[in-house]
């Protein structure tokens, strides 16, 4: 009997665990069987705006419609082949520099369990090594989301099939089994990037927006390139993991950041050739785990992070994270737990407590203190940050669940004369009531509030109502929100029911309402059709946004559609 598992979890194991001889996979396959017996999926997505931006009338190179396609071939989860084409609103289609149609294509081929090759990736891919101090080309969604991946110290390669044109590597990556305890991963990447150039042709700024709507934006498309290569050697024995990681980054045209006189740019990356190496390690047993990574760049600057997790019982555990990122440490592919905008100039300690009572109450609380030894943007001296959040969830009965969240975030910024630091205090609270009235109907009522105090005090609040209805192969989702904030600083965020592979998080500020309806129909097992209309009405303005994005109206509406075909 496993003492660390309660009765409920032991009973669930029968649905996930198989006892017996492992099935041997045939390493040989025929090309014709790949396409005949593989599973195919085609996904088409589009957005039709029911308004015109200033750039749509004069300035943008392409139409105002956003659209994309995604094709995937999956052969028994051993071979995957995919291609995605994506077009943002205002970008040219089959014209200008986009003579091949879409503004961005992502493509990949992944093969698993092929002899000594555990995984082979060709085309576009993403890699995470260790805790991300040297290589983690994934996206960063904040402290809570990054905690879920910090416990993994194995090297992870996955295909890049997103419509996003940022963060991926392009070339080849493979993991080889050297021995039952040893694995090695190697990768090489060459990709074009967007950049702002200096007069001498050097790179002033690496751009991440990847918009190519205007002639100036199109001039910067693929005007530089970046080379990455490296790998990871890993050892796994029982409860212990260890990996050595290395990454070289080369820019043919050197980096020369703008505004060299700005103090916060003193240690920005400069030059042509960069490398990072690290050692990550882990020890885990049933009640205790310690994982960490220590990295160094070509200048000898260090970055290190360690996570200690202790499990008191099945219902109570605590996590402590310490990180130190030197002001001279730079890496173009790092992405890990942090308070600042990059893995640089940060020293912090995090403590979190997770307490769950069976089927009733769960409490999660964290405290994070960070010190920034060197000046940062809008901060002309060393500064501090304090962040704490409390999340609770309680099941009132078999139908209703109540969730609450409160966050206090303190950061220091310059005053107007830049001779003194002021505290910016941010309070955010959320209360959510979720009800599953039946197998077909669910409700969610939510209230959000924010208070920002820096030079002035700014307030904001929002109330939202969502409903979801499901009948056989038809799903209906609707939401309505009223928001009222003093300004942009007191903005609020609303998460709507998204389309597949989309992230539907809206930023709202000012005074107005937001409402949306989404309908999904599954026609048999092969075809899915989704349609969504979303409308935002503002009560405090006659125009929305500015510059080329300006809409000369007080409301905006978009129609989104999606079609998926499996064959």
Report the C-alpha dihedral over residues 549, 166, 529, 101, rounded to 10 degrees: 80
Q: How many other C-beta atoms can be found within 10 angstroms of the C-beta atom of residue 188?
A: 16
* Cβ pair 355, 363 in contact under 8 A: yes
556 bridge partner residues: 536
> Is 300 buried (19+), middle (13-18) or exposed (0-12) by CB count in 10 A?
exposed
Residue ranges with strand state E in 298-454: 302-311, 316-325, 346-356, 361-372, 383-395, 400-414, 421-436, 441-453
- pLDDT given at position 22: 52
H/E element, 280: strand 271-284
DSSP string, 478-496: EEEEEEEESSSTT-EEEEP
Q: How confident is the chain (567 residues) per 10-residue block, as mean pLDDT? A: 50 58 55 78 96 93 95 92 95 92 95 92 94 83 68 78 89 93 95 91 89 94 94 91 95 82 85 94 90 95 95 91 96 92 95 86 95 92 95 92 96 88 95 93 96 93 96 94 96 91 88 97 94 96 94 96 95
- pLDDT given at position 144: 73
Spacing of C-alpha 348 from chain mean position: 22
- pLDDT given at position 3: 44
In angstroms, the CA 217 to CA 541 distance is 29
In the structure encoding, which two tokens stand for residue 164, read together? 């996003």
- Could you tell me if residue 33 is left (phi over 0), alpha (psi between -120 and 50 degrees) or otherwise beta? alpha
Indicate yes or no: pTM above 0.85. yes
In angstroms, the CA 424 to CA 34 distance is 58
H/E element, 36: helix 31-37
In angstroms, the CA 53 to CA 112 distance is 46
């Amino acid at each position: 009997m496993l003492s660390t598992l309660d009765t409920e979890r032991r009973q669930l194991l029968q649905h996930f665990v198989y006892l017996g001889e492992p099935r041997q996979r045939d390493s040989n396959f025929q090309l014709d069987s790949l396409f005949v017996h593989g599973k195919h999926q085609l996904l088409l997505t589009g957005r039709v705006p029911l308004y015109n931006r200033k750039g749509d009338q004069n300035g943008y190179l392409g139409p105002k419609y956003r659209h994309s396609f995604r094709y995937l071939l999956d052969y028994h989860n051993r071979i995957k082949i995919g291609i995605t084409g994506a077009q943002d609103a205002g970008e040219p289609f089959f014209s200008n520099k986009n003579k091949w149609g879409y503004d961005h294509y992502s493509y990949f081929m992944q093969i698993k369990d092929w002899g000594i090759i555990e995984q082979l990736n060709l085309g576009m891919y993403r890699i995470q090594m260790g805790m991300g101090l040297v290589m983690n080309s994934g996206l960063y969604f904040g402290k809570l989301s990054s905690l879920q991946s910090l416990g993994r110290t194995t090297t992870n390669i996955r295909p890049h099939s997103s419509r996003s044109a940022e963060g991926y590597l392009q070339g080849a990556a493979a993991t080889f089994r050297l021995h039952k305890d040893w694995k090695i991963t190697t990768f090489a990447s060459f990709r074009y990037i967007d950049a702002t150039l200096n007069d001498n042709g050097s790179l002033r700024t690496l751009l991440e927006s990847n918009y190519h709507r205007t002639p100036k934006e199109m001039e910067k498309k693929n005007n530089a390139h970046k080379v990455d290569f490296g790998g990871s050697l890993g050892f796994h024995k029982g409860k212990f993991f260890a990996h050595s990681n290395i990454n070289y980054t080369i820019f043919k045209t050197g980096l020369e950041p703008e505004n060299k006189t700005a103090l916060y740019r003193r240690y920005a990356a400069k030059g042509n050739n960069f490398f990072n190496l690290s050692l990550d390690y882990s020890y885990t047993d049933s009640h205790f785990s310690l994982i960490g990574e220590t990295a160094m760049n070509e200048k000898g600057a260090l970055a290190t992070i360690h996570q200690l997790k202790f499990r008191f019982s099945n219902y109570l555990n605590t996590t402590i994270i310490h990180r130190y990122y030197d002001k001279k440490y730079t890496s173009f592919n790092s992405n890990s737990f942090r308070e600042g905008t990059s893995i640089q100039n940060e020293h912090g300690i995090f403590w979190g407590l997770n307490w769950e009572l069976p089927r009733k109450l769960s409490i999660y609380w964290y405290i994070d203190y960070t010190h920034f030894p060197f000046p940062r943007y809008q901060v002309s001296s060393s500064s501090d940050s304090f962040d704490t959040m409390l999340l609770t969830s309680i099941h009132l009965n078999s139908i209703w669940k109540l969730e609450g969240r409160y966050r206090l975030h303190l950061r220091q910024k310059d005053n107007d004369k830049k001779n003194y630091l002021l505290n910016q205090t941010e309070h955010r609270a959320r209360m959510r009531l979720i009800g599953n009235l039946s197998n077909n109907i669910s409700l969610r009522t939510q209230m959000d509030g924010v208070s920002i105090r820096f030079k002035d005090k700014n307030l904001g609040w929002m109330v939202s109502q969502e409903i979801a209805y499901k009948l056989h192969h038809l799903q209906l989702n609707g939401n309505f929100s009223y928001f009222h904030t003093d300004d942009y600083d007191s903005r609020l965020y609303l998460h709507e029911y998204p389309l597949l592979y989309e992230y539907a998080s809206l930023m709202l500020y000012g005074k107005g309402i937001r409402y949306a309806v989404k309908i999904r129909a599954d026609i048999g097992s092969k075809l899915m059709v989704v349609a969504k209309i979303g409308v935002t009405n503002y009560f405090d303005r006659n125009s929305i946004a500015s510059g080329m994005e300006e809409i000369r109206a007080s409301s905006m509406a978009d129609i989104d559609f999606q079609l998926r075909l499996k064959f």
